[in-house]
Every structure is written in structure tokens, then in C-alpha cells.
Amino acid sequence: MNFFSSKFKLGILGGGQLGKMLLYNTRKFDIHTKVLDASNEAPCKIACDEFQLGDLMDFDAVYNFGKQVDVLTFEIENVNTNALEALEKEGVKVYPSSKTLRTIQNKATQKLFYKDHNIPTADFTRFAYTSEIKEAIHNGGLQLPFVWKSAQFGYDGNGVKVVRTIEDLEGLPNVECIAEDMIPFKNELAVIVARNVDGDIKTYPVVEMEFHPEANQVEYVICPARIDDAVAKKAREVALNVSKAFNHVGLLAVEMFQTKNDEILVNEVAPRPHNSGHQTIEASYTSQFEQHLRAILNLPLGQTDSKVGGIMVNLVGAEGHTGNVVYENIAKIMKLEGVTPHIYGKKQTRPFRKMGHVTIVNKDINEARRVAEQVKKTIKVMSK
């Protein structure tokens, strides 16, 4: 297949920010793209070659869209996997596969997958309904505290709650869920793995994530993680094993805990370009977006090492501000060394809404971390 021909079409399910960053690279390679998204305001609407409106969870919308392309990928997990499977059967190349995505879409299934493949992960119990949890506690089958996670469609803090007392269960939706052991961890780490159709595989350096204590959103992503080489090596090995177990094609972002005893436990994965890889745009030889394309088009994978140290700061809406967004002090942060803002172009801000990210690069990662804190203190996402 010749991707650099006008007959070839790459389909992308989802027209959000990740898709937009993917499109910089399809354009660089002059690959014809077709995007499906439910919103006429989707960031990918400009920059793709063809845009189609449609619901990603709707079988017909996804199936009919997929029939028009040669390779199909997605920038968001919430897509109709039955349609993907039907397309695969009819010869459309879907990467990552419907099977990988189906396993990942359900957190209970994902956790069982780890158990089945001897991948280290926190212990857990699956429940068909949240209402069954109380009984399990009463019976002594489940100990407090634990982390409640809805099995379906959790994203960035939704669908996850720390349960310390029976009362904490109040108000949770009565859905399929898991109760997971709380892990006393030193660090949250992530490794992005790239695997192409031929099975060539590479890992990016381990990154370290610092979360905002209240919003449960990543505040800094630090590459490379400031951890021992032995721990980093172990984390990359675990990530490789996860990737091989899935037999996946494309990118797989593997989020992990480094426990107090320096064990590595897999938390969850995302089969796409990921928040923990945004700094690769400026810091790595190959950005995660270019790498995803290389992988799904079965091109040789690019180098995953870093030119310089990189830190990613999420730009989220300030508390107390809802309405038309204004970025205060953006020129000030652009004066600092190695700073690149990425503005997602959402018109409305609200507290903790993800509005963009800022990358800080430096040969010295500690200096980058210092600048990152200054960035965080200086720029404000306000409403006007």
C-alpha cells in the first residue's frame, strides 16, 4: 500500500485535540485524512481533508465511515467496537484492533486481562452493580478503604472514587464496577509503547506524573522520570509485556504505580496518543503523534529517545471562572526559556476544564522543573 498516494485514505474516529495534533503529522507526510466526529466545532474539522458528522458510538455511523477508508484509527476510546469488528471482517485495517479496544473499554475486563497475562496490577474485586459492594463489606469479603471505579467510560476523574467509609458509597451510580486495593505508591509513572503492524516495538522513556490533589488531573508530566535506573528499566519491561499481551498496533500508553517497595503495578492503559506523551512533540526525536502514524501505517518506528528533558503542564480553567476564556500572562510565559504553549481553542472555560498544555524543555530537567513551576504560577485561564 502506498500511503503517499492520493488514493490512500486514513480514517480517524474523533476530531478532538489529539486528532488535531495527529493531523500536523498526516499533513507533513501528505496523507489523505477523513475524520468522523459528532460536533461541527471539532478541532479537526479544519486541517483534515474530509470531515464527516456522526456519533462515534453509533454502529451505522462508524461502519459507513470506515467503509470509505483504507486504515482506520481513533483518538478516543468511546467508539462502537462492534462496527470496528465488522469493518475488520471486511478487510478494513483497524489499528488498534477492536479486540484491544473492547478489552480496554471495560475496566473490569481490562483488570482481568492483566491477571490472565501475569501482568502486575493492584488486587481488585469485580461487581455487577455498586449496590453489591455493601453486602461484600458486611460479609467480610471486602475491606475498607478501596478505590471504586466504574467499569465503563471513566475519564479523567469521572467514575473513580476513594471509598474510606460505607458513607462514601452514597451517590455512586449503580453500575458495573470494581473495588481496587489502595496502593501506597511513591510515584505514578507512564510509559508509551509503540508497535507497528510487523510487530516492531519501542518504548519511550519513563515519565513521572504529578497530579493536582483535588481535581485528580495530571499537573506535571516529567520526562525522564526522576527515578532509579533499575526502576525505570522495570517499568519499561512491564510496559513492553503489556503491549505484547495485547498484541496491539499503534501507541499504548501504560500508566503505572511505583509502590513503596519499588514494585511496578499497571494502573490502566490508553491505546492512543496520550496526555503523558505531549512533551514528546518538543523533547523527543519522534513525537508520539508521528510515532502513532508510523506504527499504524507499518512504517519503521522512529527513535524514542529525547533530544532534551521535557515537562508538560496542563492548562486548566482557574477556579471561580466560567465563561469566555482569556489566557492571562501568556506572553510572560513565552519569555521563559524553552516554553511552548499549546492552546486547544475551546471558547468557554470552567474550573479544571482542560484548555491546553504548555511544554517546557531544557537540557537540565531540574531547570525545566523550575521553569514549569513558574509557568504554572504565571499563566491563568480566566473568564472575561
CB of 235 to a copy of itself, least distance (A): 25
Q: What is the 3-state secondary structure (H, E, C) of 315-329?
A: EECCCCCCEEEEEEC
Q: Is residue 347 annotated as involved in ligand binding?
A: no
Smallest gap from residue 331 Cβ to a copy of itself (A): 5
In which residue are the cell numbers 501482568 written?
119
91 or 300: whose CB is closer to a copy of itself? 300
- Site of grid cell 476510546: 77
Q: Tell me the three state secondary structure of residue 116.
A: helix
Say if residue 176 carries a ligand binding annotation: no
Tell me the DSSP string of 121-141: B--EEEESSTTHHHHHHHHTS
Helices (H) and strands (E) in the chain, counts: 11, 21
Distance of CA 139 to the CA centre of its chain: 37
User: 107 among the known binding-site residues?
Assistant: yes
Long-range contacts: 35-38, Cβ < 8 Å, 24+? 35/11, 36/11, 36/12, 36/61, 36/62, 36/65
Q: Which is nearer to a copy of itself, 49 or 70 (CB)?
A: 49
- Closer to a copy of itself by Cβ: residue 2 or 261: 2
Instruction: In angstroms, give the least distance from the CB of 338 to a copy of itself.
Output: 6
Q: Which is nearer to a copy of itself, 51 or 185 (CB)?
A: 51
- Confirm whether residue 180 is marked as ligand binding: yes
Considering the complex, state which of residue 110 and residue 275 has its C-beta at the smaller distance from a copy of itself: 275
267 is known to lie in a ligand binding site: yes
Residue 70 among known ligand-binding residues = no
* DSSP E strand boundaries for 38-168: 50-53, 71-74, 93-94, 124-127, 146-150, 160-163
Choice between 48 and 108, CB closer to a copy of itself: 48
The distance of closest approach from Cβ of residue 142 to a copy of itself in the complex, given in angstroms and rounded to an integer, is 47
* Residue among 35, 40, 44, 41 at smallest CA distance from 17: 44
SS3 42: coil
182 is in an annotated binding site: yes
Is the peptide bond between 96 and the residue preceding it cis, with omega within 30 degrees of 0? yes
Minimum gap (Å) between residue 61 Cβ and a copy of itself: 23
Question: Min. distance of Cβ 188 from a copy of itself in angstroms?
Answer: 27
DSSP secondary structure code for residue 308 in this structure: S
- Applying CB under 8 A, the residues found at the interface with a copy of itself are 2, 4-6, 20, 23-24, 27-30, 46-49, 285, 290, 294, 299-300, 302-303, 307-308, 326-327, 330-331, 334-335, 337-338, 340-345, 347, 356, 361
Q: Which residues fall in the annotated binding site for ATP?
A: 107, 149, 180-183, 188, 267-268
